[in-house]
Amino acid sequence: MGIYELIIKRRTIRKFQQQPISSELLTSLVNAGRVAPSGANLQPLEFIIVNKKGLVDQVFSTLKWAGYIAPAGNPPEGKQPTAYIIVLINTEIKKEKGEVDAAAAMENMILAALDKGIGSCWIGSINRKEIRNIFGLSDLYKIDSILALGYPDESPVLEETEDSIKYWKDESGRLHVPKRKMENVLHVNGFDEK
C-alpha cells in the first residue's frame, strides 16, 4: 500500500487485540518520529516506549478517551492498548513551538504503525502530573502527547459531512468518523468564502 492509501485509510483506533507489539517494532516507530521535520532542525523531542504490562496499565489510568462519545469510546477491559509512546519536548533545546515538531513526529509514527498493521490513538487529554510522577520527569520536559498502540479490534468508518464533526457509534457499535467534504475545504488559486 502506498503512502497516500495509508493516509486515506487511517482512522483512530480505541479497541485493541491483546497481542503484544515487539520492542523492535516500537523502536522503529520512534525512529520514524525521530526523523520527522523539525523547526530549525533543533530536534527537541524525546520518546518513552511503554510496553511493560504494569506501566501500560498505569499510563492507561492517566488518559481520557473519545470525548464526544465517552464513556462508550473508552477501550473496554481486555481491549486496551498494549503499548504507548510518550512524546516529550526538551524545553532546554526548544522553549516554544515544540508542539509543531511533536505533531510531525506523531503523524510519522501513526503512519509507520499502520503500515505494520498497528492501530493507534493520538491522545492529548492526559493527566500530565501523574505521567511526570510515574516516569520521574523533571520540569525540563514538556509532556506533549501520548500515542496509544495495539493491533486493531475495530474498523471505524469515514463519513463525509457538511454539518456535525462529532463522531458516533451506530447500533452495532461501529465508530463513524465525519470529515468535512473536499469542496468545503479546498480553494484553488484564491479564496472564496463559502
Between the two ends of the chain, the Cα-to-Cα distance in Å is 35
HSE on the CB side for 121, CA within 13 Å? 28
Q: Is the dihedral of CA 9, 112, 101, 64 positive or negative?
A: positive
- CATH code at 156-194: 2.20.180.10
The pLDDT tens digits for 31-46 are 999 999 999 999 999 9
For the stretch 145-184, pLDDT in tens is 999 999 999 999 898 887 888 988 889 989 899 999 998 8
Task: Tell me the CATH class for 3-154.
Answer: alpha beta
Question: What are all long-range contacts of 72-75, with beta carbons under 8 Å and residues at least 24 apart?
Answer: 72/169, 73/14, 73/167, 73/169, 73/175, 74/14, 75/14, 75/15, 75/16
Q: pLDDT by residue (tens digit) across 111-138?
A: 999 999 999 999 999 999 999 999 999 9
* pLDDT at 161 (0 to 100): 83
Using the predicted structure, report yes or no on whether residue 7 has a pLDDT greater than 90. yes
List pLDDT tens digits, range 48-93. Answer: 999 999 999 999 999 999 888 888 889 999 999 999 999 999 999 9
Query: Chain-wide mean pLDDT for the chain?
Result: 94
- Predicted confidence (pLDDT) at residue 194 exceeds the cutoff of 70: no
CA gap 178, 69 in Å, rounded: 13
Residue with cell 452495532: 172
Question: What is the pTM for the complete model shown?
Answer: 0.93
Domain ranges of the chain: 3-154, 156-194
Q: CB–CB of 55/122 below 8 Å?
A: no
10 Å Cβ neighbour count for 91? 15
